[in-house]
Amino acid sequence: MTIAHHLGFPRIGAKRDLKWALERYWKGEITHDELQAICKRIRNENWAQQIQAGQDFLSVGDFSLYDHVLDLSFMLGVCPDRFKPAPGEIPTDTYFRMARGSAPTGTDTFACEMTKWFDTNYHYIVPELSEAQQFSICHTHLFTDIIEAQLLSKKVKPIILGPLSYLWLSKTQGAPFDKLALLPKLQKVYLDILTKLQAHNIEWVQIDEPILVLDLPLHWQQAFQSTYQFLQVNNLNLLLTTYFADLGKNAQLATALPTAGLHIDAVRGKQIDDIVAILPENKILSVGIVDGRNIWRTDLRQALQTLTHVKNKIGERLWVGSSCSLLHCPVDLQMETQLDPDIKSWLAFSIQKCHEITFLARALNQTTQTIEAELVASDNIVSAKKASARIHNAHVKKRCQEVTPDMMQRKNPYAVRKVAQEASLNLPLFPTTTIGSFPQTSHIRQLRQQFKSGQITEKEYHASIKQEIAFAIQQQLELGLDVLVHGEAERNDMVEYFGEQLQGFAFTQYGWVQSYGSRCVKPPIIYGDVSRTKPMTVDWISYAQSLTDKPVKAMLTGPMTILGWSFVRNDQSRQETAKQIALALSDEVRDLVKAGIKVIQIDEPAFREGLPLQKEYWSDYLREAVLAFRLSASCIPDHIQIHTHMCYSEFNDTIEAIANLDADVITIETSRSAMELLKAFENFNYPNDIGPGVYDIHSPRIPTTSEIVHLLEKAAAFIQVKQLWINPDCGLKTRDWKETRLALKNMVSAAMLLREKYSLT
């Protein structure tokens, strides 16, 4: 019998129940017992859904109070000294302190680092391992959850992150050492865990080793062999799961490991046939065919065809699964009452995906009477979607086809443009600017709320936003900044703001996905050809510009960021969608120029996030990403200055692509590393202007003038003085005005000191 299973269910609850519970607990509004009761309810609701969908296993280990990697650290006793529990402290509180940063006495200590989970928008808590690290089973939540699930079903599948991925994703503390030196100790504790699982009557364990899709150094590849040889427990089957890409060069390694089963991602990976060909006899192959990373309904007939082909070769050894954990999908499509019915019919969220998986398995087993009826229903939706006038816009498609290389290239090289821009903008040495947003005060948020709920009219809302803009301009004039911004008071989110105004985007009510801990995001859905029907920012920016003779910098979100932070189409390439977005943005750029705007920033904070997991695909991605940016930004005369912004400066491996963007000015994050990251610029002669962020906007601390001067002097060691700008390292929307004013005042003073110093030499 073909088994139906998913690789993990969302833990936030259909209405973000976990978020609300956590926040109330942290504020002291509910007790620990109440928090636990809510979590138990979410787990039980998740299991009820899985049972109802006919899944062959209930999943355990996918629920987490904050993050599953932190859960594992906690279970293994990996707790840095600075978080050692206070006497009598409940473990959950120690756990939260690790995630959120405070010492046992309640004083602040830095939290564990958080970083992106592979190429997703989920963030995990990075384990910190010391050279003398010991591991033992310190917490037993995994086993208590199993007992809880076993009350509902005999078939429970625990999910646990594998030892090699755990090690790979962790960082070392103290003097550097080879993490693999800890592997023997880690193997022992994993063997203990597996032995205990077997004692809990577990038959199958899902052991996630997503690093198998990465380019692994040889000694890591070898470590897989020895580890899985060691992790053998009688009567316990391991399903080794890989996801987010195909196995690439690790295909042979992964299939040959001594585990009872292997799971591959058949949505992002394109290797099914290769894997089937080398699959050892007796090994189970779980084919992840239902997309765990996107919200589209599965084309059931096509999926069944693929699976049948596999089944013909491996028979009963085939399992059907989600491509990866459903953590990256919203919970329940049924909750969407306001979505356009056509669009809704094209979608499936986690619950619906569980049903799809089960249907496919049952269809393979021929145990469902309604196979053909369901396939026909699916076909109808597939063909209706294909033909839908909502998706296809002939004008957009034609425009995309007619894109020529000259449209992705400024007319003249930067050296020529720089002269024209100097004449037009007349800026001093070390020009000062900010990244776009100014404090989103509670007043601004309230206005938006009132407008959305109909308490105030559009006219009233616009008038109030204009007041905010005027205030921001006034503040910047008083501070003496050189290139001003309007402050982004009208935006609550840099992608949503544009998505709401572009054709081809849909928004859900409950389409939340966990980003980290209690934080969730609701990505827009790009379902159709993207176009702009009218200007999106011109009124606000023109108004700001009308208040001052100094240049006001317009703010747009770049194509790769809009793409990266949305659910994207699966019926055309990402590159094609990026092109459409870029063309829509170029329309906006042109209109801004027509309105007399001379400086335009196109933010690309998600540029790096889009990098493929395997290096061999990097150059393709970078080429497409650069072209999309340039398509949005090249349609303008030389004297118009294009800025871009990225919230990081790890440019060592991408600096050429960054330079290829050919933005006149790039502002980046460098303050937290005290300009260390500018080393990428040491061996690379970056041609255009750069604003290395001079202070960390994430901290309420006010930087001093001399500190800023010092940082800029450090930057001047890597970059020519005439290329340098002075700015904070990101937008100021999370800060308050008092901090903002004080920090910017010091920043402007620093610019003056530097001008004096460097104009003399």
Q: Which residues bind ligand GLN (CB under 6 A)?
A: 435-437, 488, 494, 555, 603, 605, 645, 647, 730-731, 733
Alpha helix segments (H runs only) across 79-140: 91-100
Shortest CB 728 distance to Zn ion, Å: 9
For Zn ion, the closer CB: 114 or 205: 114
Q: Is 618 helix (H, G, I), strand (E, B) or coil?
A: helix
Q: Which does 558 bind (CB under 5 to 8 A by kind): ligand GLN, Zn ion, none?
A: none
Label residue 45 exposed, middle or buried (CB < 10 Å: 0-12, 13-18, 19+): middle
Shortest CB 404 distance to ligand GLN, Å: 30
For Zn ion, the closer CB: 120 or 644: 644
Strand locations in 296-439, DSSP E?
318-322
Shortest CB 732 distance to ligand GLN, Å: 7
For Zn ion, the closer CB: 240 or 730: 730
Alpha helix segments (H runs only) across 176-299: 183-199, 218-230, 251-256, 272-278
Q: Which does 8 bind (CB under 5 to 8 A by kind): ligand GLN, Zn ion, none?
A: none
Q: How far apart are CA 635 and CA 589, in angstroms?
A: 8
Residue 125 parent element (H or E): strand 123-125
For ligand GLN, the closer CB: 730 or 748: 730
Shortest-Cβ-distance residue relative to ligand GLN: 731
Residues at the site binding Zn ion, with contacts judged by CB under 5 A? 647, 730
**Adjacent-strand bridge partners of 487:** 437
For ligand GLN, the closer CB: 435 or 712: 435
Shortest CB 609 distance to ligand GLN, Å: 11
Shortest CB 669 distance to ligand GLN, Å: 9
Shortest CB 408 distance to ligand GLN, Å: 23
CB atoms within 10 A of CB 174: 10
Q: Which does 499 bind (CB under 5 to 8 A by kind): ligand GLN, Zn ion, none?
A: none
Q: Which amino acid is at 405?
A: P
Q: How far apart are CA 226 and CA 218, in angstroms?
A: 13
Q: Which does 733 bind (CB under 5 to 8 A by kind): ligand GLN, Zn ion, none?
A: ligand GLN
For ligand GLN, the closer CB: 291 or 669: 669
Per-residue three-class SS string for 21-75? HHHHHHCCCCCHHHHHHHHHHHHHHHHHHHHHCCCCCEEECCCCCCCHHHHHHHH
Q: How far apart are CA 356 and CA 302, in angstroms?
A: 13
For ligand GLN, the closer CB: 204 or 648: 648
- Pull the structure tokens for residue 735: 């800060």
For Zn ion, the closer CB: 587 or 603: 603
Q: Which does 494 bind (CB under 5 to 8 A by kind): Zn ion, ligand GLN, none?
A: ligand GLN
Q: Which does 431 bind (CB under 5 to 8 A by kind): ligand GLN, Zn ion, none?
A: none
Lookup result for tokens 């989970």: 117
Shortest CB 679 distance to ligand GLN, Å: 22
Q: Which does 436 bind (CB under 5 to 8 A by kind): Zn ion, ligand GLN, none?
A: ligand GLN
Among candidate residues 200, 462, 639, 698, the one labeled active-site is 698
Q: Which does 603 bind (CB under 5 to 8 A by kind): ligand GLN, Zn ion, none?
A: ligand GLN
Q: Is 261 helix (H, G, I), strand (E, B) or coil?
A: strand
Q: Is 392 a catalytic residue?
A: no
Shortest CB 643 distance to ligand GLN, Å: 10
Pairing of strands 237-241, 171-172: unpaired
Label residue 594 exposed, middle or buried (CB < 10 Å: 0-12, 13-18, 19+): exposed
Label residue 22 exposed, middle or buried (CB < 10 Å: 0-12, 13-18, 19+): buried
Q: How far apart are CA 302 and CA 245, in angstroms?
A: 20
CA neighbor of 733 nearest in space, from 647, 674, 650: 647
Tell me the catalytic residues: 698
